[in-house]
Chains A and B, each alone.
Chain A
């Protein structure tokens, strides 16, 4: 059964995966995105729109290209040796690969949370204050304090750490570290937050807190989340895109994807028959 599915991964007639949006504001637009690692094609022409102020979940088996796609959005792939990105990626209609665009500013607009919590080995305060400081968001110490407190509150971490802001961020528990990383990402007030499997290193209770947090952040931020957990995608996202072997197979409203997938491969994956 499994063998036959993988073998049929490239169907004869290619149907429209439904990645484009017409009914709402589009924050990021990607057209015909190809990524090559040396001679290997990791993404084979992705057409996908990211809706404004909603959560878009990217799902798919390991190696399907969803993390590669995510990291193209804020050009974190730039420093990988031998990588080549083709196609057009827009933020608010502006090409992010435009030569005149400053990649550092882009990353301030598109924040990122990584798979493994990676706080700086510095005090909690400094972790959150770092971004605002290098971008000059605060005029004085009081403003910086305000940003730090606000970010930690938004990340639902303030109550737990307000008495020990001077202690290293690496001393927190895994779930707290990840919320600290989220606080750090939103401290520069980005428009988009990319999350690369943010809960895969966390226990179920910490995961539940992060998911709750994502749901709250959606009101102010556009969120793209890569996840291996079908339940998580179903719980937190409004739209879901299913990647397989470098292709965008199917995209649509999360409810539709999980109840009435149009593609057989989507159906097989979400019911756990391969992956």
Chain B
């Protein structure tokens, strides 16, 4: 053994080193480094917030106006002669009547000095092509209107809407504009009488897609998304949870399960369009399932979300302390009983959080759905998982591609709806996590 006293090791006293100039400089450098680091951190967060504000600000400023739509008030006479010349008064006659004539007549009374076919046509273009349906619905709801004259707010065309919202530049030459000078004059005349007004645009929330921006709505895309995501959840929650439970609790730990684990992790990183191609080749090509259907969309999205749910589920199961399993086994529960009665309920908040995050991911997924034909122009609201449908992000994609100027604000408005839904789903995930947080 070496005698400790013999070791020649005498460092300088720490207090002397710290008090020296060199020591002071080192302290200053350390302080400076810490201040710098904090600044970098604040800078990074600031940059992230700035981008978020920029993105949300752009979307909101572009899209909020789409929730209000310009309407024009006209004194509509529900003329018996025009609507029901034979005097039958039954529903079928009223359904097939020429309501456009009512609008033309009302406009003619409003602007008596407009003559000539093309001028009259230009005048008629002030109101939306959907206005005739509005009148028909009114009359069918209340047949007593027949023969009376009432002021009615009709949806204006998208050109008038853009003019009122200040998107079209009045100072531009007429040829460079989508709206003619005389149409501007008529709109101004109506506006001067207080017959032009922006009203909340319920059609945007209740209608399906349309080529006419003022008649287009997100309800079709929303219902399509609900069917698609519902199917996704139905498929991948049970499969994902069972896979996670088996892999985590029952599977032997050997080379095969290692290989499976690596592959599940890899699947989570596969570009989503690859899953779209797979869906096209297998579900449409081989099994011959219907094109553009939420059924196939849901199956493809389930493939994409499955790895996320399995990984989240395994992590949640792993977080349950082994003492809970031992406690259950110790009173004579089988392993399966221990898992179903005790471990899985405790892991459920984590599983739910993972699933909701995965579903939020699926809600925003566009590319794979393009591959299986969910990018079709679908006017009808889907009635089931096999009827042609589109989904919200694809709706955004299609509107962004449309030439009409009014679709710009519709696109942003659809993005707002999509973001609100995503926010709600994430809020639900946070709520579930907080509510059922570790109870042991």
Chain A: residues with CB nearer than 8 A to chain B?
Answer: 74, 76, 79, 81, 104-109, 111-114, 116, 118-121, 130-131, 134-135, 168, 170, 181, 184-185, 187-188
Partner of A181, one of B327, B332, B342: B327
B440 at the interface (CB under 8 A from A): yes
Other than the known A79-B335, A121-B439, what 8 A-B pairs have Cβ atoms closer than 8 Å? A111-B331, A111-B332, A114-B323, A114-B330, A118-B323, A118-B326, A131-B331, A188-B331
In whole angstroms, how far apart are the Cα atoms of A187 and B329 in the complex?
A: 14
Q: Are B332 and A134 in contact (CB under 8 A)?
A: yes
Partner of A120, one of B327, B332, B335: B327
B324 at the interface (CB under 8 A from A): yes
In whole angstroms, how far apart are the Cα atoms of A113 and B330 in the complex?
A: 8
Q: Which residue of A lies closest to B330 (CB)?
A: A112
Q: Are B329 and A107 in contact (CB under 8 A)?
A: yes
Q: Are A105 and B335 in contact (CB under 8 A)?
A: no
Q: Are B440 and A170 in contact (CB under 8 A)?
A: yes
CB distance from B337 to the nearest CB of A (A): 6
Q: Are A111 and B439 in contact (CB under 8 A)?
A: no
Q: Which residue of B lies closest to A187 (CB)?
A: B331
Q: Which residue of B lies closest to A112 (CB)?
A: B330
CB distance from A235 to the nearest CB of B (A): 24
In whole angstroms, how far apart are the Cα atoms of A29 and B333 in the complex?
A: 24
B346 at the interface (CB under 8 A from A): yes
Q: Are A134 and B327 in contact (CB under 8 A)?
A: no
Q: Are A104 and B323 in contact (CB under 8 A)?
A: no
When distances are taken between beta carbons in the complex, the residues of chain B under 8 Å from A121 are 324, 346, 439-440
Partner of B331, one of A79, A106, A108: A108
Q: Which residue of A lies closest to B325 (CB)?
A: A79
Partner of A185, one of B253, B321, B330, B342: B330
Q: Which residue of B lies closest to A119 (CB)?
A: B327
Partner of A105, one of B253, B326, B332, B341: B332
In whole angstroms, how far apart are the Cα atoms of A105 and B331 in the complex?
A: 9
Q: Are B326 and A76 in contact (CB under 8 A)?
A: yes
Partner of A130, one of B321, B334, B341: B341
Q: Are B333 and A134 in contact (CB under 8 A)?
A: yes
A-B contact pairs, 5 of them (CB 8 A): A111-B330, A114-B323, A121-B440, A130-B331, A188-B331
In whole angstroms, how far apart are the Cα atoms of A108 and B331 in the complex?
A: 6
Chain B: residues with CB nearer than 8 A to chain A?
Answer: 253, 321, 323-324, 326-335, 337, 341-342, 346, 439-440
List the 3 closest A-B pairs by CB distance, nearest first. Answer: A108-B332, A131-B331, A118-B323
Q: Are B346 and A76 in contact (CB under 8 A)?
A: no
Most buried by A among B253, B346, B440: B440
Using A81-B253, A121-B440 as known contacts, say yes or no to A188 and B332 having CB atoms under 8 A apart: yes
When distances are taken between beta carbons in the complex, the residues of chain A under 8 Å from B253 are 81
Using A111-B330, A170-B440 as known contacts, say yes or no to A134 and B323 having CB atoms under 8 A apart: no
Most buried by A among B328, B329, B331, B334: B331
When distances are taken between beta carbons in the complex, the residues of chain B under 8 Å from A106 are 332
CB distance from B343 to the nearest CB of A (A): 11
CB distance from A47 to the nearest CB of B (A): 26
In whole angstroms, how far apart are the Cα atoms of A188 and B329 in the complex?
A: 13
Q: Which residue of B lies closest to A103 (CB)?
A: B334
Q: Are B440 and A131 in contact (CB under 8 A)?
A: no
When distances are taken between beta carbons in the complex, the residues of chain A under 8 Å from B342 are 120
When distances are taken between beta carbons in the complex, the residues of chain A under 8 Å from B328 are 120, 130
When distances are taken between beta carbons in the complex, the residues of chain B under 8 Å from A131 are 331-333
Q: Which residue of B lies closest to A74 (CB)?
A: B330
When distances are taken between beta carbons in the complex, the residues of chain A under 8 Å from B323 are 114, 116, 118
Most buried by A among B330, B334, B337, B440: B330
Q: Which residue of A lies closest to B252 (CB)?
A: A81
Q: Are B341 and A76 in contact (CB under 8 A)?
A: no
Q: Are A118 and B331 in contact (CB under 8 A)?
A: no
Q: Are B333 and A104 in contact (CB under 8 A)?
A: yes
When distances are taken between beta carbons in the complex, the residues of chain A under 8 Å from B439 are 121, 168, 170
When distances are taken between beta carbons in the complex, the residues of chain A under 8 Å from B321 are 118
Using A134-B337, A170-B439 as known contacts, say yes or no to A107 and B332 having CB atoms under 8 A apart: yes
When distances are taken between beta carbons in the complex, the residues of chain A under 8 Å from B333 are 104, 130-131, 134
CB distance from A7 to the nearest CB of B (A): 18
Q: Are B331 and A107 in contact (CB under 8 A)?
A: yes
In whole angstroms, how far apart are the Cα atoms of A184 and B341 in the complex?
A: 15
In whole angstroms, how far apart are the Cα atoms of A120 and B342 in the complex?
A: 8
Q: Which residue of B lies closest to A106 (CB)?
A: B332
In whole angstroms, how far apart are the Cα atoms of A184 and B346 in the complex?
A: 19
Q: Are A118 and B332 in contact (CB under 8 A)?
A: no
Q: Which residue of A lies closest to B335 (CB)?
A: A79
In whole angstroms, how far apart are the Cα atoms of A111 and B328 in the complex?
A: 11
